[in-house]
Amino acid sequence: MALWRSTVNTWSPLPKVCQFSTTSALQHIIKLTRLRVVDNSALGNAAELAGKPARCIHIYNKKGIGTIGDKILVAIRGQKQKAYILGVRQKQKPMVPRFDTNNIVLIDETGSPLGTRILVPVPSLLREKKGDFTKILALATKFV
């Protein structure tokens, strides 16, 4: 829809206000995003107690933005650890759950989780995601 614009040049003595175009908060999981560890691993608990949450330092996909089911590398308690994203704060497509916190579960090099239980609900769409989630889903108590 074309808006009618005035063709008259108006000169104003006041300086023009700089106009920036900014996006709203996108809630993306990118490098340096702080994440909540939701398993009962010792590393995760220690990080929470110390008040220094895990920070994402790499996302293993071409995009650089992590969503549910993506493998990432986090820096936690001064060490590097791989993790899977179990829930995001980002607005999702219909039928996909959205969580209030960005949840991750720590895994080792072979893909087996460090903890023995997952304390929050897990999206059931992980069952059909590519990647070995069977060991992680075995720890989950509630599916959403």
Radius of gyration of the chain measured on its C-alpha atoms: 21
Between CA 71 and CA 62 the distance in angstroms is 12
Which amino acid does the sequence have at 47? A
Q: CB-wise, 112 or 141, nearer to another protein? A: 141
Does 34 engage in binding with another protein (CB under 8 A)?
no
CA distances from 3 to 6, 11, 16, 17 (A): 10, 21, 22, 22
Nearest alpha carbon to residue 32 among 71, 52, 58, 63: 58
Q: Which 103-142 residues touch another protein, going by CB under 8 A?
A: 103, 119-121, 124, 127-128, 141-142
Q: CB-wise, 67 or 75, nearer to another protein? A: 67
Q: Which 53-92 residues touch another protein, going by CB under 8 A?
A: 87, 92
Does 143 engage in binding with another protein (CB under 8 A)?
yes
Q: Interface residues with another protein (CB under 8 A)? A: 1, 38, 87, 92-101, 103, 119-121, 124, 127-128, 141-144
